[in-house]
Structure 1
């Protein structure tokens, strides 16, 4: 695919942040990083519509805090129509990683992941989606 060139003007702070992003993510150059960010934004925009997607929600939390697991179970029980499966892996004696396999309209999966990730005590959370049609 042919490449078009254009100029971009950025404030100094934003340019420094871009350069740090390039370095942290091992991009070859700024152009590659900008391409990645634009493509990522376009994909996420498509996900906000009604596309049928499958995905995984990954959560990391402290197993000693029982209220976290209880809140996760409550939310999962309310969303059985889009949850395919859930599995917990113990990372160490205090922390676990839970992976929730999901399938449904992209906006519903995004709403579910936002609810789960927002639970107080979740150390890390991320949703990954792929179109299924």
Structure 2
């Protein structure tokens, strides 16, 4: 892709706002122009997220796990989203609080509704969601995704029908589990030994 030519233009702003801009430049490094370009790109990305558009979202919440039924409600919300949940991270911060990060993919309006519903839940103290417009997901032939839960924490796996697994759980334990529960196969009876000729 050919490199675009930079266009110079003047920007007018209050002195106090310019001071804040310079403070951000000092914190992040770079130049005023680079920071302004980053801010404009971020706003353009947000403006491209319209209802029904393919999008990804990262939802981050901090909640009080002592609030009655809150953990169960958060788990139910993620169950309702189904295969739109791509990944989740759960961290115990202290005696009272947990951090949860949920990565989702799907129509932008559905992700926004789900995020707003979770953020408005009683017991969620802090949170936010970053929504980014993307293209449609690329899947390998025969691939499907499913979510399962251990102790209320979601785990997401992608599989192809040829068993080309795209996850990191212990295959030996997985197959041993199925072998343990599989019905025992009957052994074929061995023919009786013939007496030896003398």
Normalised to the residue count of structure 2, the TM-score between the two structures is: 0.55
More helix by share: 1
Q: 1:130 to 1:96 in 2, by over 3 A?
A: farther
5 Å matches for 1:111-126? 111-120=113-122, 121-126=124-129
Alignment correspondent of 1:65: 67
Q: Distance in 1 between matches of 2:16 and 2:121?
A: 33
Q: 1:116 to 1:22 in 2, by over 3 A?
A: farther
List runs of 5+ in structure 2 lacking aligned partners: 137-198
Alignment correspondent of 1:16: 19
Q: How many residues are aligned here?
A: 132
Q: Distance in 2 between matches of 1:77 and 1:98?
A: 15
Q: Is the 8 A contact 2:53 2:133 kept in 1?
A: no
2:57 aligned to which of 55, 58, 64 = 55
2:106 aligned to which of 85, 90, 104 = 104
Q: 1:20 to 1:110 in 2, by over 3 A?
A: farther
Which deviates the most, 106-115 or 82-91?
A: 82-91
Q: Give RMSD over aligned pairs.
A: 2.6
Aligned with 2:127: secondary structure?
strand
Cα displacement (A) at 1:4: 0.7
Aligned with 1:57: secondary structure?
strand
List runs of 5+ in structure 1 lacking aligned partners: none
Cα displacement (A) at 1:128: 4.9
